């Protein structure tokens, strides 16, 4: 088991192993982010930070935490010079379970099919080109 050193950055374009993740809780802000991602289906970082109250950097850390905990997924469109911003979406039913338990959503009204299709489509592979992984 590899111990993560304080100040060491998490991977940007792939998920960290669970053993390498710092201990982070799912908070009210995290749940609010999940709710926004569910509502918009696909949403860029720049819009999420505008829709969530509070500090932008804190929201960015919550997004990163949700990604590494596999509660949201993300992709960035390749471009000539650098990747574009991340676009977030849900592809795991655990995120919907959190909306049910924490926000009181009716399980009968949630669209599980969209989450299933997102997982099948594997949108995150857009980011996985060799050029982007090297950075």
Residue 79 pLDDT class (50, 70, 90 cuts): confident
Phi and psi at 77, nearest 5°, equal -70, 135
CB count within 10 Å of CB 8 equals 9
Phi and psi at 130, nearest 5°, equal -60, -40
**Closest to 114 measured CA to CA, from 9, 52, 40, 6:** 40
* pLDDT score recorded for residue 55: 94
Residue 36 lies in a domain: yes
Higher model confidence: residue 56 or residue 4? 56
- Residue 33, domain CATH: 1.10.10.10
Q: What is the secondary structure of 18-44 as a DSSP string? A: GGGSPP----HHHHHHHHHHHHHSSEE
* pLDDT score recorded for residue 101: 96
Residue 5 lies in a domain: no
* Structural domain harbouring 117: 25-134
Residue 130 lies in a domain: yes
Residue 15 lies in a domain: no
Residue 4 lies in a domain: no
Burial letters for 49-80: b for 16+ Cβ neighbours within 10 Å, e otherwise?
Answer: beebeeeeeebeebbbbbbbbebbbbbbeeee
Residue 105 lies in a domain: yes
Residue 9 lies in a domain: no
Q: How many domains does the chain have?
A: 1
pLDDT over 70 at 9, yes or no: no
Residue 120 lies in a domain: yes
Q: Is the pTM above the cut of 0.85?
A: no
């Amino acid at each position: 088991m590899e111990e993560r050193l304080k100040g060491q950055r998490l991977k940007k374009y792939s998920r960290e192993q669970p053993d390498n993740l710092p201990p982070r809780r799912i908070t009210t802000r995290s749940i609010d982010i999940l709710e926004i991602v569910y509502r918009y289906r696909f949403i860029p970082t720049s819009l999420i930070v505008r829709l969530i109250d509070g500090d932008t950097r804190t929201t960015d850390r919550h997004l990163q935490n949700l990604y590494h905990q596999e509660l949201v997924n993300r992709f960035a469109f390749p471009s000539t010079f650098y990747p574009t911003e991340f676009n977030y979406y849900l592809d795991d039913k655990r995120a919907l379970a959190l909306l049910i338990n924490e926000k009181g959503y009716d399980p009968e009204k949630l669209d599980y099919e969209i989450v299933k299709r997102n997982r099948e489509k594997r949108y995150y592979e857009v980011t996985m080109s060799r050029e982007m992984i090297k950075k």
